[in-house]
Amino acid sequence: MLSKRIIPCLDIRNGQTVKGVNFVNIREVGDPVELGRRYSEQGADELVFLDITATHEGRKTFVELVKRIAFNLNIPFTVGGGISELKDADALLAAGADKISINSSAIKNPQLIDDLVRYFGSQFVVVAIDAREENNHWEATMHGGRIRTGKELFSWAREVENRGAGEILFTSMNHDGTKNGFANEALAHLAGMLTIPLIASGGAGTMEHFADLFINGKADAGLAASIFHFGEIAIPDLKHYLRNAGINVR
C-alpha cells in the first residue's frame, strides 16, 4: 500500500539552512547536506530545499549545494526558489535534483508549467501554492504571502493540474508558523478535486496534527520545518505514532 509521506523542508540562504517563522524572522540552523543525511537516516520520505537567497551569486551557490546534496542523499528531494525559466530547471536537473518547485513564477507565467512538463516530465514539476483565507475566500499569494494575486485557490489548483504539474504543495498562510494544525478543510477539498498528489504545509505543531492531516485533510504528504529542525518532533517517533493511529507510513 502506498504510504503517506513525511517531508522536512529546509530553507537555504547562502548555502546554509534557515527557517523563517511566518516567513519573517530568520535563524541559522546548520549545514543542509548534514541535516539532509540525518533526516534520511531517521526515515524522512523526501526532502525539500528552498533557496530563499534569490540573488545571482546565491543561485550559483545553490546549484553547487544541490550537487552535494544529490551525491550524499539516497532519498528523493525537491528544490525550489528563484526558478523562472527552463534553463534554471535544467541546471538543477543536471545537478541531480529529482523535482523542482515553482511558485510565484507559475502565477506570473502559467505557461511555464506546460513548458517545464513538456521538457522534463510531470514527475519533475511541483507547483507550490501559498494561499490565505479571508471571509471564507482562499486567495493565492506570492512572495511569502506579502502579495495578493487575485487567483482563487481552488480554480488555480485545477489550472495547475490541467497544465500538467505532477504534484501540488499547498501552504496555508493562515496556519504557517502557528503550530495549531494544518488547514484540513481546504486540504480535504483540494484532495477530493485533484487527481495528482497533494503535499500539505503550514501549521504542524504536534504528532496529532499529522494524524489529523492524513485522516481529515486527506493529503498524501505532510511537510514541516522548525518542529523537525529544533527536535520538537523526531521522525521515528512521528512514524510510530502514525502507525499506531492506523495510518500507513514507511
Partner 1 sequence: MKVAIIKYNAGNIQSVDYALRRLGAEASVTADHDEIRSADRVIFPGVGEASTTMDYLRSHRLDQLITELKQPVLGICLGLQLMCRHSEEGDVACLGIFEETVKKFVLQHDQLPSMKIPHMGWNTITGLKTNLFDNVPEGEYFYFVHSFYATSGADTAASCSYPAPFSAALQKDNFYAVQFHPEKSGTAGSKILENFLQLKINQ
Neighbouring CB atoms inside 10 A of 208's CB total: 12
Which residue among 11, 45, 98, 220 is the active-site one?
11
Query: Could you tell me the three cell numbers for 138?
Result: 482562499
For residue 45, how far is the Cα from the chain centroid? 13
Q: How far is the CB of 167 from partner 1 (least distance, A)?
A: 7
- Check: CB of residue 62 under 8 Å from CB of residue 21: no
Q: How far is the CB of 234 from partner 1 (least distance, A)?
A: 17
Which residue lies nearer to partner 1 by CB, 4 or 19?
4
What are the residues whose beta carbons fall under 8 Å from the beta carbon of 103, sequence distance 6 or more? 80, 127, 128, 129, 130, 142
Query: Could you tell me the three cell numbers for 13?
Result: 540562504
Which residue among 98, 130, 176, 212 is the active-site one?
130
Which residue lies nearer to partner 1 by CB, 43 or 110?
43
The site for partner 1 (CB under 8 A) is made up of 1-3, 5, 40, 45, 70-71, 74-76, 93-98, 120-124, 166-167, 191-192, 194-198, 218, 220-221, 250
User: Taking Cα atoms as reference points, which of 19, 100, 8 lies closest to residue 52?
Assistant: 19
Which residue lies nearer to partner 1 by CB, 23 or 77?
77
Q: Examine the residue annotation and report whether 115 is marked as an active-site residue of this protein.
A: no
Which residue lies nearer to partner 1 by CB, 10 or 97?
97
Which residue lies nearer to partner 1 by CB, 18 or 79?
79
Q: How far is the CB of 191 from partner 1 (least distance, A)?
A: 7
Q: How far is the CB of 75 from partner 1 (least distance, A)?
A: 6
Q: Examine the residue annotation and report whether 45 is marked as an active-site residue of this protein.
A: no
d(CA 95, CA 98): 9
Q: How far is the CB of 151 from partner 1 (least distance, A)?
A: 23
DSSP of 71-115:
HH--S-EEEESS--SHHHHHHHHHHT-SEEEESHHHHH-THHHHH
Instruction: List the catalytic residues.
Output: 11, 130
